[in-house]
Structure formats: structure tokens, C-alpha cells
Amino acid sequence: MAITEDEVFGQCADDPKLIGRQTQRRYKEVWLAYCKWIVERFDKGLGVNVTNFMRISWAEDELEEQMRGGGEDADQVFKPAWRLAEGFEKAHGLQCRNKGEKAAAGDEENLVKCEEINFHKVAIRYSANLSKDNVFACLRHIFHKVGKTMASGREVRIFCGVGDFVSKDRKVEFVFDNHYHRFLIRRLPPPTASSRATTGRPRTTMGLGAGERERVGTGLTDQLILDDGEAMQGWAEEDG
């Protein structure tokens, strides 16, 4: 039986060595807010990055584009992608099951633009009663416990909003939810001087809906369903 995020929350709450440790319920609230941030960005064709943990984004699939005909007027095709942070990998003695998913120098160019985590934004926008300090401390504890548990070689499956961060025998992978494996196609705009980091992102309409997730146990997936109107507020200036 794989260790899940619920067990990690319990480990954090019970560890007297953690400075400023919180209740298991508080860790769950923080993780839910973190997952909501990931989902909203990802469903809008953008990526997220947490230094020393992982990057989740979209990558252009040139092979699929060629299979669809290629050429200057061809569609741009994206697929979900992730990169494990080198610091997290080395600190816990982990290996990516797929070597191509290790962080690399070309990620900034090859992946759609990622937003760095903003603890204040996660607290204010995605929760009712969390503070920046709550989010920062709890996520730091959770990431640490996830790494230590994976380093033990045990099977681990941590829900991260758009899929599961999975480890067994210290080999890790990210398993995206099934509906994200559908290719996202975006018609290329007229050539401009702008970089692909700002103009070349998948145009998505998927959003979360009832029945799209199968995971049970923590109840996090049920709480991740966002109202479409709410999900679009507050990003117009940044995304425009």
C-alpha cells in the first residue's frame, strides 16, 4: 500500500523536531491551497515552479506536430511535462524513472512559462484563513517529509492537483491525470519578436469538473473543483 499525502500530513504533525509544526488539518488546508494554485495555472496552459521541489508545465511536442503535417501554418501541439529539481533529487538520493524528466539547462526555453510560487498569493487567493507564514512553513515541512519518505525506498503517491508524484525504490515519476494526456492544440499566431515563453502556450478549456478525477481517500479532489468565474478572476493583467 502506497504512502499518501494524508500520512505525510500526520508525520509532520507528530514530529517534535519540526519548528512551528501544525495540526494535520492545517497541513491538509495548506496542501489544498497549493494544489488549487497548480490546477488553475495548469488548466490555463501555464506552468508552475517550486524551487528545490519540482516544475510542472507544458512542452511542445514536435514529433506530434510533424505527424500532423508540420509547416509554417501548422498547429502547435503541447503535452504535459514535469521536471524534478536537482536539489530535491540529490538531497534525498532519488532518481527520475525517465532521465529526460531531470531538470536541465534548456527547461526555460523548452517548457511553457512557469510562475514561481508566491506564498502570500497561495494563502490569500486559495484559502479562507491561511497566512503567508502558514503556507511557507507547512509546505517546507511537507516537502521535507515527502523527500525523506521517498528516500526510504517505500512506495509513495502524493496527489499534486494535476496528478500524482510517485516513488518506489527511490525512482520517481509524475503521473498526470488521464484527461491531461489529450494533446492540446493551439494555432500558431503570426510571427512576432516575442519569445515562445510568453506567446507559445497551449490554449486550454478543460477546467476541473465533477467526475474528472478518480482519486479517493483524502477528499482533496472533490474540494479542487473551481467555479469557472472564480478561476478566471484576478489573472487578466498577468495573463494578458
- For 14-34, the DSSP string reads H-TTSTT---HHHHHHHHHHH
Contact of 115 with 121, CB cutoff 8 Å: no
CA distances from 112 to 26, 144, 188, 211 (A): 32, 27, 14, 28
Q: What's the predicted TM-score (pTM) here?
A: 0.76
Distance CA 173, CA 51 (A): 17
List of the chain residues with pLDDT < 50: 191-240
Locate 146 and state its grid cell: 515527502
Q: Measuring CA to CA, which residue among 115, 97, 94 is closest to residue 51? A: 115
Give the pLDDT confidence score for residue 113 in this predicted structure.
Answer: 85
- Cα distances (Å, whole numbers) of residue 220 to 34, 70, 72, 213: 11, 40, 43, 10
Angle, nearest 10°, between helix axes 132-151 and 5-14? 110
What is residue 131's DSSP assignment?
-
Joined together, the cell numbers standing for residue 169 give: 525504490
Q: What was the pLDDT predicted at 9? A: 96
Query: In sequence order, what E strands does 114-183 have?
Result: 114-116, 156-159, 163-168, 171-176
Distance of CA 237 to the CA centre of its chain: 22
pLDDT for residue 112: 85
Phi, psi of 234 (to 5 degrees): 85, -5
Predicted pLDDT of residue 185: 63
Provide long-range contacts, Cβ within 8 A and 24+ apart, for 104-108: 107/55, 107/83, 108/197
Question: 220 with 5: CB under 8 angstroms?
Answer: yes
Separation between Cα atoms, residue 213 and residue 229, nearest integer Å: 21
Q: In terms of Cα–Cα distance, which of 56, 53, 59 is closest to 77?
A: 59
Q: What pLDDT shows up at residue 43?
A: 85
User: What pLDDT shows up at residue 216?
Assistant: 30
